[in-house]
Amino acid sequence: MPLNLSLVIHNHQPVGNFDFVFATATEKAYDPILGLLERHPTVRLSLHYTGPLWDWLLKRRPDHVERLRALVARGQVELLTGAYYEPILVSIPDADKVGQIRKMTEFLRRTFGVEPTGMWLAERVWEPHLPKPLAEAGVRYTLLDDTPFKMAGLTDEDLFGPYVTEEQGHTVTVFGNVMYLRYAIPWHPVEEVIEWLRAQAAAHPGGVAVMGDDGEKFGLWPGTWDLCWGREAWMDRFFAALEANADWLHTRPLGEMAAELPPLGRVYLPCASYEEMMDWALPPRDFASMRRVRRELKESGRADILRFVRGGLWRTFIARYDEVNQMHKKGLWVSRKVQRMPEGEEKAHAQDHLWASQCNCGYWHGLFGGIYLFHIRAANYAHLIAAETIADQSSVGRPAWIWTEHGDLDADGREEIVLNTDRQVLTFKPSSGGALVEWDWRAARYNLLNAMTRRREGYHEDLVRAAEEGRLILPGEPDRPDGVRVKEPDIHTRLFHDWYRRAAFLDHFLHPETTLDAFYRSQYGEQGDFVNQPYQAQVKEDPAGLTLILTREGIVWVGERSVPVQVEKRFVVTPGNDLLTVHYRLTTHDNARCVLRFGVEVNWGILGGGSDRAFLQILRGREKIRRRPTDTGEVWETTGLTFGLPFPPLEGMNWQGAGGIPQVTLTLSAPATLWHFPLEAVSNSEAGYERVYQGTCTLLWWDVVLEPDQPWEATLQVALKTGD
């Protein structure tokens, strides 16, 4: 009996990605795949496109959709469904899981006249509860990497057929995605892959070998266009070999295999994804250890043990990155608001924004940019803010409003406080420095604090070691087997790691000898216990506005003695305007006069902050000092600052049509010294290590003289407005 080969190609671009990336991926990968199928009409397979990519293709490349429609009509291509905006399914509510899958299924039914029953699972992230919502959404089968099958006790030899799994009696058929094929196609010689398949045909006659992977690796990833379509033409040679061996090797869409082959058995799979994803989820030190353990086991031939070695749970990304957790939990918060809306067009509109915000790429990080891709985070937040605004307007029913929400928004066991107006949503963490951690500007659909804390990543160890050993490869230099590609020669000297979360209105007491450079490197001495410590919170509400009072009785070390200091900060918002007023009061009951260096830190998320269109304008009296958000500098006697948001977070939002680029202006009642610098992550990808802008830190500080029981006060007012 012949062996069946089911190839599954998954094509994806995230919500908010740049138009040129969609276009380049289509030109270098998606179009060539269709051309390949047209040239080899007897090779049949399954394709999956995500919703954001469908939306772009229908608008910009309808010819691609028409070519695909012809391939589907003649039975050469099976289309798989999936959650429309490609969320990690385990991370969203069941109602959203089912809703997103049904949206994709309906789209394929309407556009191609097909009834898909198989689905692509984003990043192949699996948890045992999934069969129930999948079955409820009409999904009968899916494919997962071989990793969870092996963790459940199966071996490579057990993966040439489907298994059935269930949750509460709801069944789904699952296929194992063979790791050898995923790594061999398109990098191993065609002849080697065919010989491997021939051996499997002898060992598993009538079975199926499944290979599912990203379409972008067939032309978009560095070096793959020449390999797949250019000089080496690997894909044409491979498809020609499949045709030449059709007497014993049948290429079949996965759906035919699901309908034809009886399950090999029942299986219950643990929480898992593909091997690399689970390693990326580990804390940095464990990431390096895991890679070392895997290498040692492979070199010693202990595959029997290696198959039970697993990395971390996908949800660990939510634990590792406060910013991921903030965005994820805000999504759950908004989902509950949307679900409470009455059925109708307004709810459907809010729901679609909510689902778009769940697109997975901004919620984890591995070899690709992930959470460090600023524009992806900005797009997720833009949709979240749009969905929440629609839901809030629906519940209030009037043009202007204020209210306070209390609750454990980020699920850390401590209460957050949310100040809600028709113009702004401000989320505070009294338990951690009384910080403002999210500041949503509704009109701009923008989280002004969408910046990233600088963290250690597992791959930083490789960079440092390569630099020490002289193995860095600069742009334009030839590859070498042990080399590590970098975008700049001294990038390993830019690895700074913060000891607290970069948020807003963080309170510092600095040693007088602290320099801008030390603060930038996060290598300085903090003399107070305020930055990430708990504050007491009180909210005063009246029809005119909301006032949040955050207070901490702390200690500041001055020389050899500790001085008790009270920091009180009052945040005032009112309905119908875009102002935030912050009033600081510092008091000591110590019996001696003391001089303190007090600073207020705000970390601004400026989309496009590294571009020529971005600006930071600093006021010193009547003098205007022009800088860029990526500059590092110090300005004495600062009385205010303004920065612009040069790019809208979503395509179709027209800043100029709204009257100009949105601007944020901060005005001080007492002149201060300003330190400003960019927050930059050192991130890795196939193209090498590079610095990636993540936000701009501003620290305003004063030399404060505190007399016993005589408070020092200052007011900061922030205005959100559309500039000229």
List the alpha helices (DSSP H) in 5-130.
19-25, 31-39, 51-60, 62-73, 94-112
Query: What tokens appear for 348 in the block?
Result: 């459907």
* Kind and range of the H or E run holding 181: helix 179-184
Coil/strand/helix, residue 526: strand
- Residues 12 and 214 sit within 8 Å (Cβ to Cβ): yes
What does DSSP assign to residue 172? E
Q: Give how far Cα 456 sits from Cα of 149, 239, 282, Å.
A: 32, 43, 12
- Alpha carbon distance 433, 535 (integer Å): 6
Do 550 and 433 touch, CB atoms closer than 8 A? Answer: no
In angstroms, the CA 489 to CA 479 distance is: 15
**Catalytic (active site) residue 123:** yes
Residue 592 phi/psi, 5° resolution? -135, 150
Both structure tokens of 607? 């989309």
Sign of CA dihedral 496, 501, 505, 511: negative
Report residue 647 as tokens. 């790019």
- What one-letter code names the amino acid at 20? F
Residue 70 to residues 62, 298, 387, Cα–Cα distance (Å): 13, 45, 37
Instruction: Measure the CA angle with vertex 295, ends 294 and 299; round to 5°.
Output: 120
Check residue 251 and report its DSSP letter.
E
d(CA 415, CA 418): 10
Torsions phi, psi of 110, nearest 5?
-75, -35
Q: Which of 136, 166, 214, 412 is catalytic?
A: 214
Do 83 and 48 contact (CB within 8 A), yes or no? Answer: no
Strand-pair partners of 695: 679
Distance CA 467, CA 238 (A): 39
DSSP character for 302?
A: -
Nearest CA to 238 out of 45, 101, 467 is that of 45
- Determine whether 541 is an active site residue: no
Q: Of these residues, 86, 96, 123, 392, which one is catalytic?
A: 123
Amino acid at position 667, single letter:
T
Rounded Cα distance between 411 and 35, Å, is 49
Euclidean distance between the first and final Cα of the chain, in Å?
A: 73
CB-based contact 404:421 (threshold 8 Å): no
Other C-beta atoms lying within 10 Å of the C-beta of residue 156: 16
As a whole number of angstroms, the distance between CA 462 and CA 415 comes to: 39
Q: 177-216 b/e with 16+ CB inside 10 Å = b?
A: bbbbbbebbbeeebeebbebbeebbeebeebbbbbbbebb
Do the Cβ atoms of 704 and 597 come closer than 8 Å?
yes
Catalytically active residues are: 123, 214
